[in-house]
Amino acid sequence: MPELNFENSVPKSYESQSCGSKNKEQPNEIFLVLEDEKMRNIYKEGLEKALIFIKNINEGAFEPRPLSAIICTESSGVPFGYAVKSALKEIQPKEELPKFLRINVKPFKNQINLIRQGVELRGEYREAQESFKRALSEWKEKIEKLNLKDKNVLILDEFTYSGNTASSVRYLLEQVGIPKEQIFSLPENITTSYPVWKYGNEPESQKGTNPTETKDDSGKVGIVSDKEKIRKAKNLISDMKLLGRRAAKALEQKSGKKPD
């Protein structure tokens, strides 16, 4: 079955999807999914703020060490990981990028406060505790493999409402050996609401189209077998990369500086 790779996930040709454009020389300069200009501007402005925050960390405003990893929360936070990575490539082309990872805390985030207190969950909540234990094992191995202990990491959660997602990720990372003072969260939301990635009128048409089913920098792989869903996910990834480049360009213009 086809695999969506975190690095190579841009469609080869946009000729039949270019919204009327036949320009083959710049296939990435068109939006295939994010057609709402108002929403694109909200995302871009939010990304600009996130990039400034990342710049402050990297330049030692908080710690004298740059970010080693950016951890995107599944599932709606993952597309913004593509945008940030694309922007950082523009902003710091000669510097090593942080590792981009994704994490899913949905199975246990609503019970995280009880888990932190050491409460033994039973009945329908037992699976949440088991899911947390599995996540602990997975991330302990991942942190060691990528040498992220004592390194700065950023939780990329695009929209915080209850705070359960970010706090669950933070607690998990602390438990696997990353000091709490080296775990950063965005000070502001990138978006004004939870993003909805729509590709049709039927709810079923949205299944499998979110590019969480990809390969991240830890080697975690997801497989998609439906060709149409692959195309839609790739289109969204391409849009987010373009949005990232535009956010980087906007920051460059505001600062009056060109990337190194």
pLDDT in tens, 199-213: 433 333 334 444 544
Spatial separation of the C-alpha atoms in residues 125 and 144, rounded to whole Å:
29
pLDDT(224) > 80: no
3-state secondary structure the chain: CCECECCCCCCCCCCCCCCCCCCCCCHHHCCCCCCCHHHHHHHHHHHHHHHHHHHHHHCCCCCCCCEEEEEEECCCCHHHHHHHHHHHHHHCCCCCCCEEEEECCCCCHHHHHHHHCCCCCCHHHHHHHHHHHHHHHHHHHHHHHCCCCCCEEEEECCCCCCCHHHHHHHHHHHHCCCCHHHEEECCCCCCCCCCCCCCCCCHHHHCCCCCCCCECCCCCCCECCCHHHHHHHHHHHHHHHHHHHHHHHHHHHHHCCCCC
**Is residue 203 domain-resident?**
yes
The number of domains in the chain is 1
List pLDDT tens digits, range 25-50: 355 478 888 888 999 999 999 999 99
**Is residue 108 domain-resident?**
yes
Give pLDDT, residue 259: 52
Counting other chains too, the contacts that 142-145 makes at CB distance below 8 Å and 24 or more residues apart are 142/101, 142/218, 143/173, 143/176, 143/177, 143/178, 145/218
Give pLDDT, residue 260: 53
Spatial separation of the C-alpha atoms in residues 180 and 97, rounded to whole Å:
22
Q: Which domain holds residue 133?
A: 27-255
* 219: confidence class by pLDDT, cuts 50, 70, 90: low
Give pLDDT, residue 202: 33
Contact assessment for residue 108 and residue 135, using Cβ atoms and an 8 Å cutoff: yes
Contact assessment for residue 186 and residue 50, using Cβ atoms and an 8 Å cutoff: yes
**Is residue 47 domain-resident?**
yes
**Is residue 11 domain-resident?**
no
Of 144-153, 181-190, 230-239, the range with the lowest mean pLDDT is: 230-239
Spatial separation of the C-alpha atoms in residues 89 and 137, rounded to whole Å:
32
Residues near 124 by Cβ (< 8 Å), separated by ≥ 6? none
User: pTM above 0.85?
Assistant: no
Distances (CA, A) of 210 to 28, 168, 230: 19, 22, 9
Give pLDDT, residue 85: 96
**Is residue 20 domain-resident?**
no
**Is residue 3 domain-resident?**
no
**Is residue 129 domain-resident?**
yes
Which one, of 185, 153, 189, lies nearest residue 47 by Cα?
189
Give pLDDT, residue 120: 85
- In angstroms, what is the C-alpha Rg of the chain? 19
**Is residue 199 domain-resident?**
yes
